[in-house]
A and B are shown apart, each in its own frame.
Chain A
Amino acid sequence: MIDGTRVIDYHGHVGRWERYGMVDDPELLLGAMDAVGIDMACLFHIFHPDGTTGNDLTAQFVARNPDRFVGFAYVSPTMPDRMVPELERAIDKLGFPAIKLYPPYTPWPFNEEPWHPIYEFAQDRGLAIIFHTDHFINSRPRYFEDLAPAYPRVNFVSAHCGNVPEARAEAIAAAQKYPNVYLETCSTYRTPGVIEELVEKGGADRVLYGSDMPLMDPRPQIGKIITARISDKAKRMALGENAARLLNI
């Protein structure tokens, strides 16, 4: 809690990637979260294309601290027959409220046909999907302009907001055109003025704080919001109010 606002980190991972210092030790995550008042974190496991393996690990991780962590479902179109059944299992049985997709681990841009069964599923259920986005061909935020009007019940979240200026501009443009596009803030590129730009151009009601923990520590990432030249109202929306609305919590 920060000044009465429940803080929700919209971007975190389960899984280990030791060569980059990424260790999913719950005590490490909770210690960093507690140090800055982060109440809850959304987590997903993206290292298993079958979806099931990672989703089960996510569910186990969340079950140890269900008041602090929320699991998201992960699937990959590289195993197309498993996508929808695994989504049904993850949403209905594991209780995950949203979906994470990672286009760099596939051969396809995320507006192409192999991804659409996921979007149809999310449209039926009215779910949010968070996508890794960047400036490479599979992950361009401009694809939201194809998807957002076609699947109006889905909320599309641009993780990292494209990371670099050219892709960030695409994410902002999509958010300006469609009310179901959101802008998530975590990035190893902590360019000055980015948070201000997202709030001013995309709208404070579309910005979601995320950290990418445990690949990155949530503290400098939340520091981007706290030290930005935006209003307290915009900070509260980005830190938790928008995420709570998106997740119905």
Chain B
Amino acid sequence: MFLPFFEWCDGLAISQAYRQSLYLFALTQSLHLVAVTTFFGAILIGDLRLLGWGPVAQSRAGIARSAQSVLLWAGLAVLVTGIPQFTTHALTYQRSPIFVFKMCLLAAALAFTATLRRRVAAADEGRLPSWVPRAVGAVSLALWMGVTISGRLITFYG
């Protein structure tokens, strides 16, 4: 599926550069990990608050607003450090069933975060029945943890 796109990625000059380089990949991968950790931290603090834990003295909306700017900046860093890593190994991922699974999970996590979670987090306190933000927080946590874990499993189970 989408083979031509993956082949195009594989053939890019940047992919070539990364395949030849001794240290470039390692450096980018390391920075990527810090960006991912920051991204996940911003998700986690928001989800804890939705679940009624963590920084409860602050409103859900307040935490969500602050976390959102971190999410965007960390997301940008994830993007910048992620592109060359993806294109360099594009054809390997194209053949991996776990990769496909992760992509689906990721699409769901992104859609969920950008729509329902945003709206619920931004809602005024008391406007929603208490189970709603809790359920949203739990689903978000499950989705993003799932993305993290399945990403890791690609190494072991292809």
Whether A associates with B in a native complex is no
Q: What is the interface of chain B, defined by CB distance below 8 A to chain A?
A: none
Taking Cβ atoms with an 8 Å cutoff, the residues of A that contact B are none
